[in-house]
Amino acid sequence: MSDSLSPSGRLALIKLVNALMQPDFEALVFAIKAPPYLIPSNFSAQGNRSPALLQWVESPGGCGLSEFLAVLEGVAPGAFQLTDVSLPTQSTSPASKVQPEKKTKPSFQEHLGGGKSLDMVYIPEGRFWMGSPETKEGRCGDEGPQHKVHVPAFYMGKYPVTQAQWLAVSLLDDVERDLKPHPSRFKGDNLPVERVTWFEAVEFCARLSKHTRCDYRLPSEAEWEYACRAGTTSPYYFGDTISTDQVNHKEHYGKTTEVGRFPPNAFGLYDMHGNVWEWCQDHWHDNYEGAPTDGSAWIEGGNSGYRVRRGGSWDFSPRICRSAYRFTFMPGLGNDSLGFRVVCSAPRTL
C-alpha cells in the first residue's frame, strides 16, 4: 500500500482517535465499515483503541489510510493535518474530505402538471447516532438518550415544498380533504408553503402518490435527522455554529426566504436548518426511551394528539435550528413558520 504515515503523523493520529468521544468513535468505525469488535466494550479500554483500529485500516482487508483520513476529517474537522501524512496527490485534495456514501441511484424530478416539478434527492442507506450526548452544551432533555439508528435508503425533497408546488397539487382530486390553494402568509412561488397543518401535509402526500403512482409521505423523525446531518455529528451540518449567510433564523430576515438561497448539506438538501419548521410522521414522545432503531416512524404510544416538527424556522433562534432539536405541535394547527417536505421510499415505484 502506498499510503504511509510519518512517525509524528502516526502519533498525532493515535492521540486524536483516542480523544474522540465514544459516539464519534463508533460513527467512525461504522463509516469505514470496520469490524464492530474494534469498539471497546468498556470505558477503561477506550484509551488504547487506536492501535487495533489502525492495524485493521492498514491491513489487506482494511479501508486504507486515504479513506480513513477522509472520514476522520468529517468526524473531527481540522483536528488532524493531512500534511502529516504521505498520500497520493488525489487523496489530499479538497474532494478527499468526508462525504456521505456516494449516490448509487440518480435523483429525479417528479412532474406535477402545469410546468411544475418536485426535485427528489437520493439519500443512501446508513447508520447514525440520533439525538445529542448528555454533555452537549445547549441540548434539551428530549434529545436523548442518544441511540444508534439504521436508516434504509430513501428519496427526500431537495427543498421544502414551495407555494407553486403546493398550488399544483391542490388542484388535483381530493383524497380525504380539501386543500386551500394559497394558505401562506408570505407570498411567492418559490417561497416555502406555510400555515399548513399536519393533516393537510398528509393530504398533499396522498394526492401526490395517487397522481404519480409512487408512495409519497412525510419523513419519519429518524429519516429527517439522518438526512439533515448528512454524515455530520456537529450541532449543524455546517459545523458548531451558523450565520445568517447560511441559515434563515430569527436574527436577520424576519420572514421566509426563497428555497435554495443558502448552501446545501452534503446530501444536496437545502434549508434543513431554519426557514420553516418541517412536519414529521411521528407521534410526540418526551424522549427516545424505546424509540425504533430501524428508521421507521414512531407511531406507537406517545401522544398522538401532537406530532413532531423539526429544523427550526425564520422566527426561532439558532439553538432551535440544531440538527438534534425537536419540538411538538398539534396536527390540526398551522402557522407562518411551519411547512414540510416529502419523502419517497426507494425503490420508488409502487
In tens digits, what is the pLDDT along the chain, a chain of 350 residues?
Answer: 345 666 777 777 777 787 777 667 777 777 777 776 677 655 445 556 777 788 888 887 788 887 788 777 666 555 554 434 443 333 333 333 334 444 345 689 999 988 999 999 999 999 999 999 888 888 898 999 999 999 999 999 999 999 999 999 999 999 999 999 999 999 999 999 999 999 999 999 999 999 998 999 999 999 999 999 999 999 999 999 999 999 999 988 999 999 999 999 999 999 999 999 999 999 999 999 999 999 999 999 999 999 999 999 999 999 999 999 999 999 999 999 999 999 998 754 44
Distance of CA 210 to the CA centre of its chain: 27
pLDDT at 84: 43
30: number of CA atoms within 13 Å, CB side?
A: 17
Inter-helix orientation angle 7-19/49-57, to 10°:
120
Question: In the chain, where are the structural domains located?
Answer: 4-96, 108-349
What is the predicted pLDDT for the residue at 299? Answer: 96
pLDDT of 5? 65
| pLDDT given at position 92 | 32
Distance of CA 47 to the CA centre of its chain: 30
pLDDT at 22: 67
Please say whether the beta carbons of 244 and 254 come within 8 A.
no
- 267: burial class by Cβ within 10 Å (0-12, 13-18, 19+)? buried
Q: What is the CA radius of gyration of the chain?
A: 21
Annotation: CATH topology of 108-349: paralog of FGE (formylglycine-generating enzyme) (3.90.1580)
User: Dihedral through CA 201, CA 204, CA 210, CA 213, nearest 10?
Assistant: -70
Residue 1's pLDDT is 35
Please state whether beta strands 338-339 and 277-284 pair in parallel, antiparallel, or not at all (unpaired): parallel
pLDDT score for 23: 64
8 A C-beta contact, residue 121 and residue 268: yes
Return the C-alpha cell found at 138.
445547549
Residue 282: predicted pLDDT: 98
- Rounded Cα distance between 203 and 179, Å, is 8
Q: Are 23 and 133 in contact (CB under 8 A)?
A: yes
Residue 98's pLDDT is 36
Is residue 125 packed enough to be buried (19+ CB in 10 Å), middle (13-18) or exposed (0-12)? middle
**DSSP single-letter state for residue 132:** -
Contacts of 186 (CB under 8 A, 6+ apart): 194, 255, 256, 336
Query: For 7-28, b where at least 16 C-beta lie within 10 A, e where not — what string?
Result: eebbebbbeebeebbebbbbbb
127 grid coordinates: 447508520
Please give the C-alpha separations between residue 49 and each of 46, 86, 321, in angstroms, as whole numbers. 5, 23, 34
- 314 touches 249 (CB < 8 A): yes
**Which residue from 219, 231, 233 is spatially nearest to 295, judged by alpha carbons?**
219
Bridge partners (DSSP) listed for residue 118: 110
